[in-house]
Amino acid sequence: MELKTQPFVKWAGGKRQLLEKLEARMPESYGKYYEPFIGGGALLLDVHPQKAVINDNNEQLLNAYRQIKENSEQVIQEVCILDEVPCDKERYYEQRDKYNKKIAANQLDAECAALMIWINKHCFNGLYRVNSKGAFNVPYNNKKTGLSIDIDNIRNIAEYLKKGDIEIRQGDFEEACADVKKGDFVYFDSPYVPISETANFTDYTKDGFSLDDHKRLAVLFKKLADAGAFIMLSNHNVPLVHELYSGYNIEEVDVRRAINSDASKRSGKEVIITNY
Protein backbone atom coordinates (compact mmCIF):
# COMPACT_ATOMS: atom_id res chain seq x y z
CA MET A 1 0.00 0.00 0.00
CA GLU A 2 1.28 3.45 -0.87
CA LEU A 3 2.23 5.43 2.26
CA LYS A 4 0.67 8.85 2.79
CA THR A 5 3.08 11.44 4.15
CA GLN A 6 3.21 15.21 4.46
CA PRO A 7 5.59 17.76 6.02
CA PHE A 8 6.11 17.38 9.79
CA VAL A 9 6.98 21.08 10.12
CA LYS A 10 5.33 24.27 8.91
CA TRP A 11 8.05 25.85 6.77
CA ALA A 12 8.47 29.25 5.11
CA GLY A 13 8.12 28.74 1.37
CA GLY A 14 6.44 25.35 1.91
CA LYS A 15 5.18 24.02 -1.40
CA ARG A 16 1.91 22.35 -0.49
CA GLN A 17 -0.06 24.94 -2.49
CA LEU A 18 1.98 24.28 -5.62
CA LEU A 19 2.19 20.50 -5.42
CA GLU A 20 -0.16 19.65 -8.28
CA LYS A 21 1.50 22.14 -10.59
CA LEU A 22 4.97 20.93 -9.70
CA GLU A 23 4.10 17.26 -10.09
CA ALA A 24 2.45 17.88 -13.45
CA ARG A 25 5.76 19.30 -14.67
CA MET A 26 8.06 16.56 -13.40
CA PRO A 27 9.62 14.23 -15.98
CA GLU A 28 7.85 10.88 -16.33
CA SER A 29 10.97 8.96 -15.42
CA TYR A 30 14.32 9.90 -14.05
CA GLY A 31 17.31 8.43 -12.22
CA LYS A 32 17.91 9.88 -8.78
CA TYR A 33 15.76 12.64 -7.23
CA TYR A 34 17.70 15.57 -5.71
CA GLU A 35 16.19 18.24 -3.49
CA PRO A 36 19.02 20.53 -2.29
CA PHE A 37 16.71 22.96 -0.41
CA ILE A 38 14.45 20.40 1.24
CA GLY A 39 12.77 22.60 3.92
CA GLY A 40 9.48 20.93 4.87
CA GLY A 41 9.86 18.52 1.94
CA ALA A 42 6.31 18.84 0.57
CA LEU A 43 7.19 17.52 -2.89
CA LEU A 44 9.43 14.68 -1.69
CA LEU A 45 6.83 13.54 0.84
CA ASP A 46 4.10 13.48 -1.79
CA VAL A 47 6.05 11.87 -4.62
CA HIS A 48 8.11 9.34 -2.61
CA PRO A 49 10.97 8.83 -5.06
CA GLN A 50 12.76 5.56 -4.38
CA LYS A 51 16.26 6.98 -4.77
CA ALA A 52 16.86 10.47 -3.46
CA VAL A 53 19.34 12.92 -2.00
CA ILE A 54 17.87 15.53 0.29
CA ASN A 55 19.80 18.50 1.62
CA ASP A 56 19.41 21.79 3.43
CA ASN A 57 21.86 24.03 5.24
CA ASN A 58 19.68 24.07 8.37
CA GLU A 59 21.42 21.62 10.69
CA GLN A 60 18.53 21.32 13.13
CA LEU A 61 16.01 20.59 10.40
CA LEU A 62 18.24 17.89 8.96
CA ASN A 63 18.75 16.42 12.43
CA ALA A 64 14.97 16.10 12.64
CA TYR A 65 14.88 14.15 9.32
CA ARG A 66 17.76 11.93 10.51
CA GLN A 67 16.20 11.26 13.91
CA ILE A 68 12.84 10.45 12.31
CA LYS A 69 14.64 8.01 10.01
CA GLU A 70 16.70 6.33 12.72
CA ASN A 71 14.83 6.93 15.98
CA SER A 72 11.22 7.70 15.14
CA GLU A 73 9.67 6.11 18.23
CA GLN A 74 11.92 8.12 20.53
CA VAL A 75 11.10 11.35 18.68
CA ILE A 76 7.36 10.57 18.98
CA GLN A 77 7.71 9.79 22.68
CA GLU A 78 9.66 13.00 23.38
CA VAL A 79 7.10 15.16 21.53
CA CYS A 80 4.25 13.47 23.39
CA ILE A 81 5.98 14.24 26.70
CA LEU A 82 6.31 17.89 25.67
CA ASP A 83 2.63 17.95 24.70
CA GLU A 84 1.52 16.65 28.10
CA VAL A 85 1.81 20.16 29.54
CA PRO A 86 -0.40 22.74 27.76
CA CYS A 87 1.71 25.47 26.20
CA ASP A 88 1.66 29.04 27.40
CA LYS A 89 4.16 31.86 27.13
CA GLU A 90 6.23 30.74 30.09
CA ARG A 91 6.41 27.14 28.91
CA TYR A 92 7.32 28.19 25.35
CA TYR A 93 10.28 30.31 26.47
CA GLU A 94 11.41 27.65 28.95
CA GLN A 95 11.51 25.01 26.18
CA ARG A 96 13.10 27.45 23.72
CA ASP A 97 15.92 28.01 26.29
CA LYS A 98 16.34 24.27 26.65
CA TYR A 99 16.52 23.91 22.87
CA ASN A 100 19.12 26.67 22.61
CA LYS A 101 21.26 24.98 25.27
CA LYS A 102 21.17 21.80 23.18
CA ILE A 103 22.10 23.73 20.03
CA ALA A 104 25.02 25.38 21.87
CA ALA A 105 26.20 21.99 23.15
CA ASN A 106 25.76 20.49 19.65
CA GLN A 107 23.53 17.72 21.01
CA LEU A 108 21.93 16.58 17.79
CA ASP A 109 19.76 13.83 19.22
CA ALA A 110 16.12 12.70 19.29
CA GLU A 111 15.28 15.09 22.12
CA CYS A 112 16.67 18.00 20.13
CA ALA A 113 14.60 16.93 17.09
CA ALA A 114 11.48 16.67 19.28
CA LEU A 115 12.08 20.16 20.70
CA MET A 116 12.58 21.52 17.19
CA ILE A 117 9.27 20.00 16.03
CA TRP A 118 7.36 21.13 19.16
CA ILE A 119 8.77 24.66 18.92
CA ASN A 120 7.85 24.83 15.20
CA LYS A 121 4.20 24.29 16.22
CA HIS A 122 4.27 26.95 18.92
CA CYS A 123 6.42 29.68 17.46
CA PHE A 124 5.23 32.64 15.40
CA ASN A 125 4.20 31.50 11.90
CA GLY A 126 6.43 28.42 12.01
CA LEU A 127 9.42 30.63 11.27
CA TYR A 128 12.96 29.43 11.75
CA ARG A 129 15.35 32.25 12.60
CA VAL A 130 18.53 32.35 14.64
CA ASN A 131 20.58 35.29 15.94
CA SER A 132 24.25 35.96 15.18
CA LYS A 133 25.24 33.48 17.91
CA GLY A 134 23.10 30.73 16.40
CA ALA A 135 20.37 30.88 19.07
CA PHE A 136 16.78 30.34 17.89
CA ASN A 137 14.88 33.58 18.59
CA VAL A 138 11.37 33.33 17.13
CA PRO A 139 8.69 34.45 19.64
CA TYR A 140 5.67 32.49 20.91
CA ASN A 141 2.62 32.39 18.60
CA ASN A 142 0.23 32.96 21.52
CA LYS A 143 -2.04 30.19 20.35
CA LYS A 144 -3.31 27.20 22.18
CA THR A 145 -2.58 24.29 19.89
CA GLY A 146 -3.36 20.62 20.17
CA LEU A 147 -0.92 17.83 19.45
CA SER A 148 2.36 18.88 17.89
CA ILE A 149 2.67 15.81 15.69
CA ASP A 150 0.60 13.42 13.68
CA ILE A 151 2.05 10.15 14.94
CA ASP A 152 1.01 8.09 11.90
CA ASN A 153 2.59 10.65 9.61
CA ILE A 154 5.91 10.48 11.51
CA ARG A 155 5.84 6.66 11.37
CA ASN A 156 5.08 6.72 7.65
CA ILE A 157 7.87 9.23 6.98
CA ALA A 158 10.26 7.00 8.95
CA GLU A 159 9.20 3.97 6.91
CA TYR A 160 9.63 5.84 3.64
CA LEU A 161 13.08 7.19 4.60
CA LYS A 162 14.22 3.75 5.74
CA LYS A 163 12.80 1.68 2.90
CA GLY A 164 13.96 3.91 0.08
CA ASP A 165 17.50 4.77 -0.82
CA ILE A 166 17.26 8.26 0.71
CA GLU A 167 20.50 10.00 1.53
CA ILE A 168 20.33 12.92 3.95
CA ARG A 169 23.04 15.55 3.44
CA GLN A 170 23.57 18.84 5.20
CA GLY A 171 25.33 21.82 3.69
CA ASP A 172 25.37 24.20 0.78
CA PHE A 173 23.19 23.42 -2.27
CA GLU A 174 26.10 23.42 -4.69
CA GLU A 175 28.00 20.72 -2.84
CA ALA A 176 24.82 18.66 -2.51
CA CYS A 177 24.61 18.50 -6.31
CA ALA A 178 28.23 17.47 -6.90
CA ASP A 179 27.29 13.96 -8.08
CA VAL A 180 24.16 14.70 -10.14
CA LYS A 181 24.27 12.63 -13.35
CA LYS A 182 22.60 12.65 -16.74
CA GLY A 183 18.97 11.59 -16.35
CA ASP A 184 18.72 12.58 -12.68
CA PHE A 185 16.02 15.02 -11.57
CA VAL A 186 16.79 18.09 -9.44
CA TYR A 187 14.15 20.33 -7.86
CA PHE A 188 15.51 23.68 -6.65
CA ASP A 189 13.31 25.60 -4.22
CA SER A 190 15.72 28.17 -2.81
CA PRO A 191 14.72 31.07 -0.54
CA TYR A 192 12.75 33.53 -2.67
CA VAL A 193 14.06 36.54 -4.53
CA PRO A 194 12.29 39.35 -2.62
CA ILE A 195 9.40 40.89 -4.53
CA SER A 196 10.15 44.49 -3.62
CA GLU A 197 13.91 44.93 -3.93
CA THR A 198 14.23 43.60 -7.42
CA ALA A 199 13.79 46.96 -9.18
CA ASN A 200 17.43 47.76 -8.50
CA PHE A 201 19.92 44.96 -8.22
CA THR A 202 21.42 46.07 -4.95
CA ASP A 203 23.12 43.84 -2.42
CA TYR A 204 20.02 42.41 -0.76
CA THR A 205 20.09 39.31 1.33
CA LYS A 206 16.92 37.58 2.44
CA ASP A 207 16.92 34.52 4.67
CA GLY A 208 20.71 34.48 4.40
CA PHE A 209 20.46 34.01 0.63
CA SER A 210 22.15 36.83 -1.26
CA LEU A 211 22.00 38.08 -4.82
CA ASP A 212 25.30 36.26 -5.39
CA ASP A 213 23.71 33.02 -4.14
CA HIS A 214 20.88 33.46 -6.66
CA LYS A 215 23.44 33.97 -9.40
CA ARG A 216 25.44 30.94 -8.20
CA LEU A 217 22.24 28.89 -8.35
CA ALA A 218 21.54 30.01 -11.94
CA VAL A 219 25.07 28.97 -12.96
CA LEU A 220 24.57 25.57 -11.32
CA PHE A 221 21.16 25.18 -13.04
CA LYS A 222 22.83 25.69 -16.41
CA LYS A 223 25.74 23.38 -15.60
CA LEU A 224 23.44 20.52 -14.57
CA ALA A 225 21.10 21.15 -17.51
CA ASP A 226 24.06 21.02 -19.90
CA ALA A 227 25.10 17.72 -18.29
CA GLY A 228 21.73 16.20 -19.24
CA ALA A 229 19.86 16.29 -15.92
CA PHE A 230 16.18 17.30 -15.64
CA ILE A 231 16.00 20.54 -13.64
CA MET A 232 12.92 22.20 -12.17
CA LEU A 233 13.07 25.43 -10.14
CA SER A 234 10.43 27.60 -8.50
CA ASN A 235 10.67 31.23 -7.41
CA HIS A 236 8.77 34.51 -7.38
CA ASN A 237 7.68 35.92 -10.71
CA VAL A 238 10.07 38.87 -10.69
CA PRO A 239 12.38 40.38 -13.35
CA LEU A 240 15.60 39.04 -11.79
CA VAL A 241 14.35 35.46 -12.08
CA HIS A 242 13.35 35.94 -15.73
CA GLU A 243 16.77 37.42 -16.40
CA LEU A 244 18.71 34.63 -14.65
CA TYR A 245 16.81 31.84 -16.44
CA SER A 246 16.14 33.34 -19.86
CA GLY A 247 16.28 30.65 -22.52
CA TYR A 248 14.57 28.02 -20.31
CA ASN A 249 10.84 27.27 -20.01
CA ILE A 250 9.39 29.80 -17.56
CA GLU A 251 5.73 29.24 -16.64
CA GLU A 252 3.80 31.68 -14.48
CA VAL A 253 1.50 30.11 -11.88
CA ASP A 254 -0.87 31.51 -9.25
CA VAL A 255 -0.27 30.56 -5.66
CA ARG A 256 -1.90 31.16 -2.31
CA ARG A 257 0.47 31.52 0.63
CA ALA A 258 -0.57 30.86 4.20
CA ILE A 259 2.61 31.69 6.11
CA ASN A 260 2.92 35.42 5.45
CA SER A 261 1.82 37.52 8.44
CA ASP A 262 0.76 40.26 6.01
CA ALA A 263 -2.54 39.05 4.52
CA SER A 264 -2.04 41.17 1.39
CA LYS A 265 1.05 39.14 0.52
CA ARG A 266 -0.67 35.78 0.79
CA SER A 267 -1.29 35.42 -2.90
CA GLY A 268 0.71 36.20 -5.98
CA LYS A 269 2.45 34.84 -8.97
CA GLU A 270 5.31 32.43 -8.97
CA VAL A 271 7.21 30.76 -11.75
CA ILE A 272 8.12 27.14 -12.40
CA ILE A 273 11.17 26.82 -14.62
CA THR A 274 12.30 23.68 -16.41
CA ASN A 275 15.02 22.83 -18.93
CA TYR A 276 13.04 20.02 -20.60
Ligand X SMILES: C[S@@+](CC[C@H](N)C(=O)[O-])C[C@H]1O[C@@H](n2cnc3c(N)ncnc32)[C@H](O)[C@@H]1O
Site of interaction with ligand X (CB under 6 A)? 11, 13-15, 36-37, 39-42, 56-58, 172-173, 189-191, 208-209, 213
Query: What is the rounded CA–CA span in Å between residue 239 and residue 192?
Result: 13
With respect to ligand X, which residue has the nearer C-beta, 87 or 185? Answer: 185
Compute the least distance from the CB of residue 176 to ligand X, in Å: 7
Which among 96, 98, 104 has a CA at the least distance from the CA of 121? Answer: 96
Smallest separation (angstroms) from ligand X to the CB of 148: 17
Residue with smaller CB distance to ligand X, 87 or 157: 157
Q: Between residues 42 and 82, which has the closer beta carbon with respect to ligand X?
A: 42
- Which is nearer to ligand X, 46 or 109 (by Cβ)? 46
CB of 184 vs ligand X, minimal distance in Å = 18
If the CB atoms of residues 37 and 185 are measured against ligand X, the closer one turns out to be 37
**Residues with Cβ < 8 Å from 98, sequence gap 6 or more?**
115
User: CB 51 → ligand X: shortest distance, Å?
Assistant: 19
Phi, psi of 60 (to 5 degrees): -70, -35
Instruction: Write down the least CB distance from residue 193 to ligand X, Å.
Output: 11
DSSP 56-94: ES-HHHHHHHHHHHHHHHHHHHHHHHHHTSPP-HHHHHH
The CA distance from 258 to 61, in Å, is 20
Nearer to ligand X, 39 or 102 (CB): 39
Q: At closest approach, how far in Å is the CB of 210 from ligand X?
A: 9
Q: Is residue 201 a contact partner of residue 240, using CB atoms and an 8 Å limit? A: yes
CA nearest to 61, candidates 45, 40, 42, 35: 40
214 Cβ contact list (under 8 Å, min separation 6): 190, 193, 240, 244
